[in-house]
Amino acid sequence: GLQQARTIIRMLLEFAEQNPGMTKVLIGDALVNEDERLQQRMNQFVDRVELALRQCWKIAATQESLREEEATLRAGLLMAFVMGRWHRFAKSGFQKRPTETAAQQIALLLG
C-alpha cells in the first residue's frame, strides 16, 4: 500500500516535470478564461487521485501496523503535497523541479 502511494506521488510529480504546460492546466492557471467544465474535470481528477491514495493507505493499514481511520487525512495531506509541488514548479518559472528532494519528503509524509 505505501509503495503504491509512493509510486502514484512520484508519477504525478515526474509527469508535471516532463510536461510544464500541463502543470499549468493541473493547477488551474491555464483554465482561468476557459469553460467552467474544464476546471470541474481537473477537480474531479484530483479527487480521484486522492481516492486512490486513500485506498493505498487502507491497504497499507492491513499490511502494517497503521491506523486505517487516518486514510482520509493522509490522502488529503499527500494530495496537498503534490499540488503544492505543482504550484511551486509553475510559479518558479519551471525552475524548482517538483521531484527535487521529493523522495525524502514523501518518506516523512508516509512515515
Report the range out of 11-20, 40-49, 66-75 with the highest average pLDDT.
11-20
Average pLDDT over the chain reads: 90
DSSP symbol at 70? G
Nearest one of 49, 58, 35 to 86, comparing CA atoms: 49
Rounded distance between C-alpha atoms, residue 104 and residue 109, angstroms: 9
How much is the pLDDT for 37? 79
pLDDT of 31 > 80? The answer is no
Nearest one of 86, 92, 90, 84 to 109, comparing CA atoms: 84
pTM for the predicted model, two decimal places: 0.88
Nearest one of 99, 77, 75, 104 to 19, comparing CA atoms: 99
